[in-house]
Amino acid sequence: MSTATENAAAAPPKKAVLSDRARGERNLGWKLAGPAFAVMLLVTLYPIVYAVYLSLFNYRLTDPDAREFVFVQNYVTALTDPLFWQAFTTTFIIVVITLIIELVLGMAIAMVMNKIVIPRRTLRTVVLIPYAIVTVVSAFAWLFAAQVDTGFFNHWLHALTFGWFDLEFNWFANQAGSLVIICLSEIWKTTPFMSLLLLAGLAQIDGAMEEAAEVDGATWWQRFYKVVIPNMKAALMVAVLFRCLDAIRIYDNPEVMTGGANNTMSLSMLVATETIDRVEIGMGSALAVILFVIVLIVAAIFVRGFKVDLTGGK
Amino acid sequence: MQHAPPRRGVAVSLAVALTATMGLAACGSDDSAGGGTPTLTWYINPDVGNSDPSAEKGGQAYLAKRCSDASNGKYKINVQLLPNDASAQREQLLRRLAAGDKSMDLMSIDPVFVSEFAQAGYLAPVPKKYEAEFTEDRVKSSVTASTWEGELVAVPFWSNTQLLWYRKSVAKKAGLDMSQPVTWDQLIKAAKSGKTDIGVQAALYEGYTVWINALIAGAGGKILDNPGAKGKDIKLDLDSPEGKKAAQIIGTIARDGLGGPAMGNSTETESLDSFKLKRANYLVNWAYTYGALGDKAKADVAATLYPRTEDGRKSAPPYGGIQLGVGAKSAHTGLAYDAAACVAGKENQAIYMSKAGNPASRKAAYTDPAVLKAFPNGIAKTIRTSLDQAIPRPQSQYYGDISTGIQQRFSPPSSVTTKTPASTQKFILEVLKGEALL
């Protein structure tokens, strides 16, 4: 009660500050953004709520009469099933490996791009080429490159190791081999995205600060660690967060390369199998909601961990 | 304020968006609305030159053309190609049907998916006037596969079955009397002594279930106890002496290396290639095998009935083929059934069998001269006998789950033991009750 009165007491003077013009602009802002806001709610919130609703049913598209309310049974089943945890582990491995390598590689490329002056625009365009390729296409390219019959990987490795590497090595015969190719393909494709985001961060750093640190006798590493990194924290977080969420949803690469064989099924593939192959809408929705919650948790951890307020400033 | 132009911009973009949507909607509408000849869409499976409308190939596209011409302007059939493998075909059909796609006039459906589609109400009922025509003169297994809960729900089109293909010289050397039915055990012994492979399908796909079902049915057992039951009430009979016998045969072939080095990846194509290369001299495979062999290779190749699981008990050859279904939401269900009657008509089945190599469901086709020429040396008759003996895979609206569960638990084949059927049964029942993921 007391807080409510306080708020009520605090509100009038605040309102009084708004001039007619400000109020008019605010109203106009609502009029302009309102429809978009409503559409956003409709297209994002509605499917989420609907998925949550469906996940409480045992509902198969081909047997609508047998639809049955089971409450949280689907979540219990999913979270206690070894297949779910296998998909979770596989996805987790892919996320960690690709994220670390992409961050290091992306940073290196971004720093090179930041320093180079002459073919700057050409370089930035060239770097983006892998990212411009549709994931399914790049997945097929990597699949063919690594396969025993059509591939050239084995020939190169065979030649580079002076015959030590087996020419007939089947990358897709076990989990480790398959994950190596899946991760390589991911890294190749999305490092450019990472480096461009990091480049944007690097470009914001005031050169004078680095110079000052240099004058003070800081080594290259000290300058990088104490000046560059803290000053591009927001860009770094955006890059890591985006890439991490992207990797959690990984679908195309493992689907094309292994189809989920040898324990390479990702969480998204599991959702697709339940929803599309088995038309088990209830279980599929439950898995999709679980994936959504995982994404939310990861996003929250990153935003807190980096201590960056993205909405701040204005 | 300078906000007027943006508002006009909004109006313009809204108008553009609306027009675009309306344009798209127009694209999706029935093209027969103009009053011309109605166009029926037939979703065909891309087997052996089906999409080639030429008379030489005699595929489904050719039958579509023939029936369009024969209808005298009543309808026109336009073919649409489905994906290659059966599971992907099901997925596409299912998604379109579930979305209420009105273009689903005619569909080539793998027999195992008929129950699922019928149970969901996706298939238009067969008109009474056609019931007699669609069942008379058909091999029994094709009618069984087109029936769901006692009602005819699809049109028997072509009926496939697997035979045991072998090289006459090798079988003779191994002392196998192929004029009499052989058993799997005899075949295993002959392959071991002759140091040759047996071509089988044991990759993680539908073809593996075909083999497992045939082995179990051949021993007098069955996978599904109560066809038509709801998911929770389904009773399986995998954990039985018949199931164990099937597992024992698979395990033996895999562990003795008789299925070839890549048995766990072997589909129809790989096993046929192995047979062509003479790595395997025995092969269980569908009827198209003979047509796929070169003239030179054909001379030494013969076919007999599918191997018996148990001595003294008739074998249960796999039943395959394609049934024609008419979508319940189709705008022309009547015309679609007229077209289906034409496509599955006697003459067209004989053409399809002799040209495309896919066996007819009509018994009369087996005495057609062109068919006898395409399947000489008694092979046509063997196919016909095999079809009478053939047992379809379990009929259930949950067939997909049952089949995938079996494939997963029976893979890799070298790990299959007599304990496998029991664990498979437990797993599938859990999946059907929603207690496990698949």
Does residue B132 or residue A62 have the better pLDDT?
B132
CB of B95 within 8 Å of a chain A CB? The answer is yes
SS3 A162: coil
CB of B85 within 8 Å of a chain A CB? The answer is no
d(CA B424, CA B430): 10
pLDDT 10s digits, B322-351 = 999 999 999 999 999 999 999 999 899 999
**Average pLDDT, rounded, for chain B:** 87
Residues 6+ apart with CB under 8 A from A2: none
Q: Using only C-alpha atoms, what is the Rg of chain A?
A: 25
Report the pLDDT averaged over residues B222-226: 92
User: Is omega for the bond preceding B376 within 30 degrees of 0, making it cis?
Assistant: no
| Chain B residues whose beta carbon lies within 8 Å of the beta carbon of residue A63 | 119-120, 230-231, 397-398
In the prediction, which pLDDT does A234 show?
86
- Element (DSSP H or E) covering residue B152: strand B151-152
Residues 6+ apart with CB under 8 A from A23: none
The predicted model scores a pTM of 0.79
| Chain A residues whose beta carbon lies within 8 Å of the beta carbon of residue B120 | 61-64
pLDDT 10s digits, B356-375 = 888 999 998 999 999 999 88
CB of A312 within 8 Å of a chain B CB? The answer is no
Among B91, B204, B436, the residue with its CB nearest the CB of A81 is B436
Q: Which residue in chain B has the smallest CA separation from A83?
A: B437
In the prediction, which pLDDT does B16 show?
47
Distances (CA, A) of B306 to A111, A159, B170, B324, B382: 68, 49, 18, 26, 10
Residues 6+ apart with CB under 8 A from A198: A106, A107, A110, A232, A235, A236, A239
**Contact yes or no for A62 and B95 at CB 8 A:** no
pLDDT band at B30 (very low <50, low <70, confident <90, very high): very low
CA distance B120 to chain A (A): 5
CA distance A289 to chain B (A): 16
Residue indicated by tokens 């009369």: B364
CA distance B102 to chain A (A): 18
For A267, the token pair is 């969480």
- Nearest alpha carbon to residue B154 among B102, B103, B117: B117
d(CA A255, CA A248): 14
Can you state the angle between helices B241-255 and B184-193, rounded to 10 degrees? 10
CB of B437 within 8 Å of a chain A CB? The answer is yes
CB of A61 within 8 Å of a chain B CB? The answer is yes
Distances (CA, A) of A247 to A138, A140, B174, B209, B338: 16, 18, 57, 35, 52
**Contact yes or no for A277 and B6 at CB 8 A:** no
Report the pLDDT averaged over residues B295-312: 91
Contact A273, A83 (CB under 8 A): no
Positive/negative CA dihedral, B410, B415, B420, B423: negative
Q: Which residue in chain B has the smallest CA separation from A57?
A: B434
Residues 168-207 in B contacting A (C-alpha not used; CB under 8 Å): 204
pLDDT band at B46 (very low <50, low <70, confident <90, very high): confident
Q: What is the DSSP string of B54-92?
A: STTT--HHHHHHHHHHHTTTS-EEEEEEPPSSHHHHHHH
Among B6, B94, B204, the residue with its CB nearest the CB of A279 is B94
- Nearest alpha carbon to residue A267 among A138, A137, A95, A97: A95
In the prediction, which pLDDT does A15 show?
52
- Element (DSSP H or E) covering residue B148: strand B147-148
**Contact yes or no for B120 and A277 at CB 8 A:** no
pLDDT 10s digits, B63-93 = 999 999 999 999 999 999 999 888 889 989 9
CB of A158 within 8 Å of a chain B CB? The answer is no
Report the pLDDT averaged over residues B53-71: 88
Q: Pairing relation of β-strands B155-167 and B319-325? A: antiparallel
d(CA A244, CA A241): 5
* SS (HEC) of B124-146: CCCCHHHHHHHHCCECHHHHHHC
**Contact yes or no for B435 and A77 at CB 8 A:** yes
Residues 6+ apart with CB under 8 A from A297: none
Question: Which residues in chain A come in under a pLDDT of 70?
Answer: 1-16, 308-314
Alpha helix (H) ranges present in A18-65? 20-40, 46-54
CB of B294 within 8 Å of a chain A CB? The answer is no
Contact B304, B383 (CB under 8 A): no
Residues 62-81 in B contacting A (C-alpha not used; CB under 8 Å): none
For B394, the token pair is 């379990």
- Nearest alpha carbon to residue B332 among B33, B115, B92: B33
In the prediction, which pLDDT does A149 show?
81
Specify whether the backbone of B151 is left (phi greater than 0), alpha (psi in -120 to 50) or beta. beta
| Chain A residues whose beta carbon lies within 8 Å of the beta carbon of residue B94 | 61-62, 279
Q: Which residue in chain A has the smallest CA separation from B114?
A: A62
CB of A28 within 8 Å of a chain B CB? The answer is yes
How many other β-carbons are positioned within 10 Å of the β-carbon of residue B331? 17
The answer to ipTM > 0.85 is: no
Residues 105-134 in B contacting A (C-alpha not used; CB under 8 Å): 116-117, 119-120, 122
SS3 B358: coil
Question: A60: number of CA atoms within 13 Å, CB side?
Answer: 25
| Chain A residues whose beta carbon lies within 8 Å of the beta carbon of residue B437 | 77-78, 81, 83-84, 270, 274, 283
Report which DSSP code applies to B31: T
In the prediction, which pLDDT does B3 show?
43
SS3 B301: strand
SS3 B123: strand
**Contact yes or no for B434 and A64 at CB 8 A:** no
Q: What is the DSSP string of B157-202?
A: EEEEEEEEEEEHHHHHHTT--TTS--BHHHHHHHHHHTT-EEE---
CA distance A178 to chain B (A): 16
CA distance B253 to chain A (A): 21
Does the pLDDT value for residue B20 go beyond 50? Answer: no
Q: Which residue in chain A has the smallest CA separation from B203?
A: A261
Contact B100, B329 (CB under 8 A): yes
CB of A311 within 8 Å of a chain B CB? The answer is no
In the prediction, which pLDDT does B376 show?
87
Does the pLDDT value for residue B230 go beyond 90? Answer: no
